[in-house]
Structure 1
Amino acid sequence: MTQYSFPDNFLWGAATSATQTEGSIAHDGKSDNIWDFWFKQCPNKFHDGVGPTVTSDFYQQYHNDIQLMRKLNFNSFRTSLSWSRLMPDGENINPQAVDFYNDVIDDLLLAGIEPIINLFHFDMPMHLQNKGGWENPSIIEAFSHYAQTAFELFGDRVKRFTTFNEPIVPVEMGYLNTYHYPAVVDMKRAVTVAYHSMLASAKAIEAFKELNTDGEIGIILNLTPSYPRSERKEDQQAAHIADLFYNRSFLDPSVYGYYPKDLIDLLDQYQLLPERVDGDEALLKANTVDFLGVNYYQPRRVKHRDEPIDETILTPESFFSYYQDPQRRMNPYRGWEIYERGLYDIAMRIKAEYNNIPWYVSENGMGVSAEERFMNDEGMIEDDYRIEFYQEHLKWLHLAIDEGANCFGFHTWTFIDNWSWLNAYKNRYGFYRLDLTTQERSLKKSGLWYSDVAKRNGFSYDD
């Protein structure tokens, strides 16, 4: 048996978001976000017709849920604030939301669990979306106002904030595909959304720094390594372009305060550059992050695109194609490749190319459908597949830390099975099973395993 021990004060916990857990309670003052609106308009788009109305009811069950976290020996927990709950009209503060978030933060701290609070997790308030959302440059000041409000309300106790979770996802899924609202395919608009998101992040960081607190502020990015099919220069260039679009478009301005020249040149070549104004460059340069959250689930396998580029319908995939590694291991339920070494490669890249900035694994997990198949006679789901998934990723992370990676924590996705956008509860990720009828939480085998890992600050593994 090999013992894998992690650094002192390493963060162990899980991640989630407001929309995916809280639910919408009548008369609580919350306004609609894009998911509330879209579900009301098109419930058939959501798996089994399950929308964000109840989810895992964290809004009412947080006291008990935090005690369940404590039983798993969490020392940290990441969630988000709901913009449309805290500031329903964008101007006035909802006192019920303030009470709720104050209680959550205080309960976490009382349980010895550090709250990491994220500001935006795909849930644009509908009244702002109706004005253009991230396409409208006025959103930058609106987000800054919301961020400053959150810092002033909760910054006395929250010592780690993040501006965005996976800002590429609203771009990719809402403006390059039709999986998120507003469900359009328009790369020019997508680039604008991405650019305004980065300016909004910088503006929020500026507001945070002006408060001169003793906390830190970061951003959470889903860094997906782009592996070329071969050493051929065409495949290498295809992987480079994929990396520019899906990783460096957010990573470089967040850490360095500027965009890669190759990305700017490529966008300029195809008349895709967003409108910029004086002060944008200085804002980005002066307001970089203190740390990164890294979400990792799967690699990206890339090859040269043989077909000519159709400039009438441009997307990032106009510049490269995907290929499948014949030796790949798959999670058939999610359709994602399982490649644990990718986490090590990310760590080494951050060390080599991004000043070894402090970072933590902010999401890693395995979604599986119909987990009741694996329930034992005592009613516990024996999800050994999830334990193995985490063990293999943690082995590679441990090696990276041994080689100097500046990683300070590992968060899973997620704590209790939660609602997942259009997929609803099709795939389950939690340490606790959620009964959608009764809202009962029941511990899975992986929860027992993770509790021991967090308690021991490591684990033993038979290599």
Structure 2
Amino acid sequence: MTLEYKFPEGFWWGSATSATQIEGATNEDGKGKNIWDHWYEVESNRFFENVGPQITSDFYHQYKEDIKLMKDIGHNSFRLSISWARLIPGGRGEVNPEAVTFYNNVIDELLANDIEPFVNLFHFDMPLELQHEGGWESREVVEAFVTYAKEAFRLFSDRVSKWFTFNEPIVPVEGGYLYDFHYPNIVDASRAAQVAYHTVIASAKAVEAFREFEIVNGKIGIILNLTPSYPRSNNPADVKASRIADLFFNRSFLDPAVLGEYPQELVEILKEHGQLPITEDGDKDLLIANTVDILGVNYYQPRRVKAKETLPNPYSPFMPEWFFDHYQMPGRKMNVYRGWEIYEKGIYDIMQNLKTNYGNIESFVSENGMGVQDEHRFLKDGQIQDDYRIEFIREHLKWLHKAIEEGCNAKGYHLWTFMDNWSWSNAYKNRYGFVSVNINTQERTLKKSADWMKEVSELNGF
């Protein structure tokens, strides 16, 4: 068979997930509470159909069966996250031996199935006690994170060589401190800036700690949801709007993580509006000295913007949207269930940007995917015929292939997600997995996309 799209030798085929979204067992084996457990207890109405994180996909009990399925569909790599509240209940102090056993078992099972574990330390799930101390607003919480990171490296780095400090660190900033879609539901840009800054510091300190371990073939990175900002037109006002959107939503984490410093223009904007975070002596040197080895890129949709139609209300809370308006391009291709535009070329544009402006850092697509509601509509002969997902993946892979052909340093593709999982406030509204999960029985069945991915992985192309 001649392949039109052949990927480089050793390409990473797999998927990604997070602890809170698949493990379940929220009150078992000594796990502490995180902010999701708490928020669900106090405001379950803010979760789709009042479904919380207690059971999710029950990976905690079914990991062996799940990892065998990963193997069956051609995974050679898989990203998971460690639950900080499970490993160190309360966020500080004694390591929970039952959590160590669980994560050891998962890692060993992955390796036994020739699947490389990619381990991420923080995926939106702050231990509740540390949130009560101020969460990422607190420098003490930063230090607690570094201690947790060191424990994780100590316990698991004999078998795990690819580590990530954070997944989409801008999301807790946006959700928790600007737009009210994650706990603690604060709308305050100066606190948001502090949270963002401390997260960057925490990541750099974890990178610094990692390097002290001198792990064989060890690499540490960060996973960022890079959403290219496209201007409505080439009009200078539209172009400026897209540049500022890019500063806030992409470069605020990308530049310090990869280049070791913040974009000056972003600093000037925050300074002018009195939103600069508090910093400490030595922070600049810390960032410069501890840039990441590898970058995970989460890409779902583009951001299209235009110049402001009206001046911002000077009495309203400061927001990034003071500098641009969102723009809905006529005729765009849509995933109607999620309300997101599908723009496959975005993945190519991101990779070219990394090549041109970020030293062509080693990277991979760490998430890309399509959530669809009521997928059982597509059930035929016992299998969900998710041809729309196959098309979505295939068209993104074509653009990724083109970027690699042109010299971009992209090493893999992970779908969000392996099996249908619980989503932060949307619960099970949209399904993303290669594997369908019946929430009532926890039965797993492969979707058509899983069969397709198995062939792509085995052929290393299509």
TM-score range, shorter chain: over 0.9
1:304-360 superposed Cα distances (whole Å, 9 cap, x missing partner): 012213343111111110111112000000000000000000010100110000000
The equivalent residue for 2:127 is 125
Q: In the alignment, residue 386 of structure 1 is paired with which amino acid?
A: R
CA contact (8 A) 2:26 2:53 kept: no
Measured after TM superposition, the shift of residue 26 of structure 1 is 3.8
The equivalent residue for 1:399 is 402
Query: Identity across aligned pairs (percent)?
Result: 59
Q: In the alignment, residue 326 of structure 2 is paired with which amino acid?
A: Y
Does 2:246 correspond to 1:243? yes
The equivalent residue for 1:326 is 330
Measured after TM superposition, the shift of residue 49 of structure 1 is 1.1
Does 2:174 correspond to 1:172? yes
C-alpha distance in structure 2 between counterparts of 1:331 and 1:157, whole Å: 39
Q: In the alignment, residue 428 of structure 1 is paired with which amino acid?
A: R
Q: Which runs of 5+ in 2 are unaligned?
A: none
Measured after TM superposition, the shift of residue 2 of structure 1 is 6.0
Structure 1 runs, 4 residues or longer, greater than 3 Å off:
none
CA RMSD, 1 decimal: 0.9
The equivalent residue for 1:9 is 10
The equivalent residue for 2:79 is 78
The equivalent residue for 2:185 is 183
C-alpha distance in structure 2 between counterparts of 1:398 and 1:277, whole Å: 43
Q: 2:318 aligns with which of 292, 314, 317?
A: 314
C-alpha distance in structure 1 between counterparts of 2:86 and 2:3, whole Å: 47
Does 2:282 correspond to 1:258? no
C-alpha distance in structure 1 between counterparts of 2:276 and 2:312, whole Å: 18
C-alpha distance in structure 2 between counterparts of 1:162 and 1:19, whole Å: 17
C-alpha distance in structure 2 between counterparts of 1:25 and 1:227, whole Å: 41
Measured after TM superposition, the shift of residue 140 of structure 1 is 1.3
The equivalent residue for 1:153 is 155
The equivalent residue for 2:35 is 34
C-alpha distance in structure 1 between counterparts of 2:118 and 2:16, whole Å: 9
The equivalent residue for 1:43 is 44
Tell me: CA distance 1:25–1:186, structure 2 relative to 1, closer, same or farther (3 Å): closer
C-alpha distance in structure 1 between counterparts of 2:103 and 2:27, whole Å: 17
The equivalent residue for 2:138 is 136
Tell me: CA distance 1:25–1:136, structure 2 relative to 1, closer, same or farther (3 Å): closer
Measured after TM superposition, the shift of residue 24 of structure 1 is 2.4
Q: In the alignment, residue 182 of structure 1 is paired with which amino acid?
A: P
CA contact (8 A) 2:47 2:426 kept: yes
Measured after TM superposition, the shift of residue 27 of structure 1 is 3.8
The equivalent residue for 1:350 is 354
1:40-87 superposed Cα distances (whole Å, 9 cap, x missing partner): 111111111110000000001001100010001100000100000000
SS of equivalent to 2:441: coil
The equivalent residue for 2:423 is 420
The equivalent residue for 1:438 is 441
1:139-183 superposed Cα distances (whole Å, 9 cap, x missing partner): 111110000110000011101000000000000111111110001
SS of equivalent to 1:237: helix
The equivalent residue for 1:66 is 67
C-alpha distance in structure 1 between counterparts of 2:411 and 2:48, whole Å: 36
SS of equivalent to 1:458: coil
TM-score, normalisation: structure 1: 0.98
Q: Which runs of 5+ in 1 are unaligned?
A: none
1:89-123 superposed Cα distances (whole Å, 9 cap, x missing partner): 31110000000000000000010000000000000
Measured after TM superposition, the shift of residue 364 of structure 1 is 0.4
C-alpha distance in structure 1 between counterparts of 2:208 and 2:27, whole Å: 35
C-alpha distance in structure 1 between counterparts of 2:390 and 2:180, whole Å: 33
